[in-house]
Amino acid sequence: MIDLKLLQKDFNEVKRKLLRKGVDEKLLEKLRIKNEELKEAKKEYEALQAAQNAMSKEFGVYKREGKDISELKARVDENKIKVTDAIEIQRLRQEELEAIAMAIPNMPDDSVPDGEDEDDNIELKRVLEPRQFDFTPKEHWELAEQNGWIDFERGVKLAGSRFSVAYDMGAKLERALINFMLNYNTKKGYTEVSVPHLVNRRALEGTGQLPKFEEDLYKIENQDLYLIPTAEVPLTNLFADEILPADKLPFKMTGYTSCYRKEAGAAGRDTRGIIRQHQFHKVELVCITKPEESEAVFDDMVNTASEILTALELPHRLVNLCTGDLGFGAAHTTDIEVWLPGQNTYREISSISNTRDFQARRAKIRYKNGKKNELVHTLNGSSLAVGRTMVAIMENYQNEDGSIDIPKVLKPYLP
């Protein structure tokens, strides 16, 4: 959640930043009005409380001077009722403001370039040169079917569109990638964590998926449980409502989960193959850190994900996302896009974001900074999306006859 104290201190600056991210001006005006109503409610309460304090002091004077206190007592009792009412009004105004603020995205860093969509993102660098084929490379769904790695029809029979079944080497390669990624991340200092694939509403509110993206989530009927859209949710919320010791930071975690998304806003996109599935596997990186260390941690996360692709000898590039393509909770994001020769383009395979204190404020994750309790910074990123890594291997390691070679680093993980 955005900093409501900053909102009250400098609304125009908050508005400037949120307009860069495409937030509707009507929503911002509603936010401004609720903010002003809260300020007025606080002023009214403070005035009534000051009057109450002043009248309380008068009791001592009246007693010393032997005056009748009945009239003063009546005024005090009447004011007490007003104070109680003012407290309730202030609470309601605070709740109203927070309800709107929960649907407001994070403010982008000033370093984030302006832009409307992915076409305005800025390429930072490229790693490895794409292979030059002496034949026309096939797309991954052709290769998957030809080699018997993935069965799309039976996936549809079991669960509907955008579900698939991996067979034999396809299933083995999937497992090999997960193990390779987790081992690589743990060698880089990340602690492996295995988490539930179901979380409650509070957890999803903490990381920003709710209330805004409810239509994209799978909910368990008649229970306060949702299937996770990413391991970011349970990993980050491990520390919800906690005050962490400063000397234990940063917490650097990696975890493998299946992820579940309705993809409600992606109708018609990537309907063939496994680029965009309702259930997919992903290895995630999540870090909880002190604010002054978050950029160094961010760079480490980007490098870790990029190094995995380099070890797999997959060409890729790093991209700085513009304001129009930035995620709801992100202050800034670097995407890693892998080269897919079958599609003759780069496609996102990892998205690494620094949310600053946006998630920490929602989830109430703090650390002990001297005598003060302060908000941590939280960061998250894919390392990597397993299905998309398989797509990249299939397309980059294909031979003219349709067979697929295996990256050298994965061979120890396969029979």
Considering just the CA atoms, what is the radius of gyration of the chain in Å?
A: 27
Q: What is the DSSP code string of 271-340?
A: -STTSS-SEEEEEEEEEEE-GGGHHHHHHHHHHHHHHHHHHTT--EEEEEPPGGG--TT-SEEEEEEEEE
Structure confidence at residue 229 (pLDDT): 97
Catalytic-role residue among 164, 351, 353, 383: 351
Question: Which burial class, exposed, middle or buried, applies to 371 when counting CB atoms under 10 A from its CB (0-12, 13-18, 19+)?
Answer: exposed
CATH among 1.20.1250, 2.60.40, 1.10.287, 1.10.8 for 4-101: 1.10.287
75 given a catalytic annotation: no
388 given a catalytic annotation: yes
295 given a catalytic annotation: no
351 given a catalytic annotation: yes
Torsion from C-alpha of 21, 24, 29, 32, nearest 10 degrees:
-30
Structure confidence at residue 266 (pLDDT): 58
Q: Is 205 annotated as a binding residue?
A: no
Strands 251-260 and 191-192: parallel
Residues 6+ apart with CB under 8 A from 29: none
Cross-strand bridge partners of residue 364: none
Delimiting residues of CATH 1.10.287 domain(s) in the chain: 4-101
Structure confidence at residue 61 (pLDDT): 76
Q: Is 349 annotated as a binding residue?
A: yes
pLDDT of the chain along its 415 residues, tens only? 899 888 888 989 999 999 999 999 999 999 999 999 999 999 999 999 998 888 888 877 777 777 878 888 888 889 989 999 999 999 999 999 999 999 999 999 999 999 999 999 999 999 999 999 999 999 999 999 999 999 999 999 999 999 999 999 999 999 999 999 999 999 999 999 999 999 999 999 999 999 999 999 999 999 999 999 999 999 999 999 999 999 999 999 999 999 999 986 555 567 788 999 999 999 999 999 999 999 999 999 999 999 999 999 999 999 999 999 999 999 999 999 999 999 999 999 999 999 999 999 999 999 999 999 999 999 999 999 999 999 999 999 999 999 999 999 999 999 8
Q: Is 263 annotated as a binding residue?
A: yes
* Maximum C-alpha span of the chain: 108
Catalytic-role residue among 37, 96, 142, 348: 348
Catalytic-role residue among 139, 294, 388, 395: 388
The CATH number that domain 118-413 falls under is 3.30.930.10
Structure confidence at residue 269 (pLDDT): 60
Q: Is 56 annotated as a binding residue?
A: no
Q: What is the DSSP letter of 412?
A: G
CA distances (Å), 26 to each of 11, 100, 210, 369, in order? Answer: 14, 12, 21, 38
Delimiting residues of CATH 3.30.930.10 domain(s) in the chain: 118-413
Residues 6+ apart with CB under 8 A from 414: 172, 173, 176, 406
Structure confidence at residue 122 (pLDDT): 98
Catalytic-role residue among 20, 261, 362, 366: 261
Structure confidence at residue 268 (pLDDT): 58
Answer for the pair 376, 288: CB distance below 8 angstroms, yes or no: yes
Residues 6+ apart with CB under 8 A from 381: 284, 285, 301, 302, 305, 350, 351, 352, 353
- Reported as type and span, the H/E element at residue 243 is strand 242-245
Please give the Cα distance from 184 to 254 (Å, whole number): 10
Q: Is 88 annotated as a binding residue?
A: no
Please give the Cα distance from 403 to 410 (Å, whole number): 17
Please give the Cα distance from 232 to 285 (Å, whole number): 8
306 given a catalytic annotation: no
Please give the Cα distance from 375 to 366 (Å, whole number): 4
Q: Is 261 annotated as a binding residue?
A: yes
Q: Is the pTM of this model over 0.75?
A: yes
Catalytic-role residue among 276, 313, 317, 374: 276
